[in-house]
């Protein structure tokens, strides 16, 4: 009897976790944050430098002679677009490179084995990607503000669009990296999806410059709404598509959440 009791007290019992495995989530999140924070030169400093270069070159090429878009000077028009573009690209980089490297080196099992639901995994990855996007965004805004006047017409919209945009790209990065079997595949996602959508989104020019028959194409591009709304948050004005933009981004994000959760719970290309 006593022996029985002794064995019971030393037998490990399953840990009580409640509805959400907070420890697991927090661990994944902090792993993902540390992953990019450790190499901040590559993940924060380099994108900021690149954005400034873009900005400088565009200023030289297109900014002179009082060019403006509507009644906004071209450089003030350009800055928010470049900032959200950099934020979005970094959010994509964060999830896609993490999962891709983990798959390649086999360390993905360390993420799949712990008792975590697909939701906890996805939120952990996405939250870190959003954080990287926001950090890069804040630093870029601070640096760009040295060169051009930054208005903050609607700070809440800036925050909302920044969040929706980085979340969208973070989710896309997860889906892309789960699908990709080699680095070439994820490079293809970057080159054939992310880059064209970014350039054709009105970052660098107002969408009215597109030929009449082509404007509808821009309106099919979720990146267009991301940049349009984010820019509106800075420079204000009344020619933006805020309501439609929020609806489109929320819908795209919802679709991507479903896709990513489905991929994670079925183990698509992750578990055999």
Cβ nearer to another protein, comparing 58 with 179: 58
Q: Min. distance of Cβ 220 from another protein in angstroms?
A: 17
Q: Min. distance of Cβ 271 from another protein in angstroms?
A: 26
Q: Could you tell me if 67 and 74 are in contact, meaning their C-beta atoms sit under 8 angstroms apart?
A: yes
Q: Min. distance of Cβ 117 from another protein in angstroms?
A: 33
Q: Which stretch binds another protein (CB under 8 A): 131-139, 169-177, 196-204, 234-242?
A: 196-204
Q: Which stretch binds another protein (CB under 8 A): 13-21, 98-106, 162-170, 187-195?
A: 187-195
Among 31, 37, 58, 127, binds another protein (CB under 8 A): 58
Count of CB atoms situated within 10 Å of the CB of 46: 14
Using CB under 8 A as the binding rule, whether residue 185 contacts another protein is answered as yes
Using CB under 8 A as the binding rule, whether residue 49 contacts another protein is answered as yes
Using CB under 8 A as the binding rule, whether residue 22 contacts another protein is answered as no
Q: Could you tell me if 207 and 218 are in contact, meaning their C-beta atoms sit under 8 angstroms apart?
A: yes
| Count of positions on this chain that bind another protein (CB under 8 A) | 31
d(CA 104, CA 97): 10
d(CA 68, CA 148): 14
Closest CA to 162 of 183, 193, 140: 140
| 75-101: b (≥16 Cβ within 10 Å) or e | bbbbbbbbbbbbbbbbbbbbbbbbbbe
Using CB under 8 A as the binding rule, whether residue 187 contacts another protein is answered as yes
Count of CB atoms situated within 10 Å of the CB of 53: 10
- Summarize as ranges the residues that interact with another protein (CB under 8 A): 39, 41-42, 46, 49-50, 53, 56-58, 60-62, 67, 183-185, 187-188, 190-192, 195-196, 199-200, 203-205, 209-210
């Amino acid at each position: 009897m006593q022996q029985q009791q002794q064995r019971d007290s030393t037998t490990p019992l399953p840990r009580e976790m409640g509805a959400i495995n907070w420890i697991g989530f927090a661990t994944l999140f902090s792993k993902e944050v540390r992953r990019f924070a450790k190499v901040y030169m590559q993940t924060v400093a380099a994108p900021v430098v690149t954005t400034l270069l873009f900005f400088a070159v565009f200023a030289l090429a297109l900014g002179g002679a009082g060019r403006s878009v509507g009644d906004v000077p071209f450089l003030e028009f350009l800055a928010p677009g470049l900032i959200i573009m950099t934020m979005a690209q970094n959010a994509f980089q964060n999830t896609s490179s993490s999962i891709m490297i983990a798959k390649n080196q086999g360390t993905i099992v360390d993420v799949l084995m712990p008792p975590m639901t697909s939701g906890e995994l996805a939120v952990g990855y996405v939250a870190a990607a959003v954080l990287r996007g926001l950090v890069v965004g804040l630093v870029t805004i601070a640096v760009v503000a040295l060169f051009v006047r930054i208005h903050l017409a609607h700070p809440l919209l800036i925050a909302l669009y920044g969040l929706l945009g980085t979340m969208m790209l973070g989710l896309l990065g997860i889906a892309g990296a789960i699908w990709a079997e080699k680095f070439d595949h994820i490079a293809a996602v970057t080159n054939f999806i992310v880059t064209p959508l970014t350039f054709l989104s009105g970052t660098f020019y107002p969408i009215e410059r597109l030929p009449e028959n082509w404007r509808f194409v821009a309106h099919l591009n979720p990146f267009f709404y991301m940049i349009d709304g984010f820019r509106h948050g800075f420079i204000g004005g009344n020619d933006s598509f805020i309501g439609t933009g929020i609806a489109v981004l929320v819908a795209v994000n919802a679709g991507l959440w479903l896709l990513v959760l489905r991929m994670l719970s079925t183990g698509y290309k992750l578990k055999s």
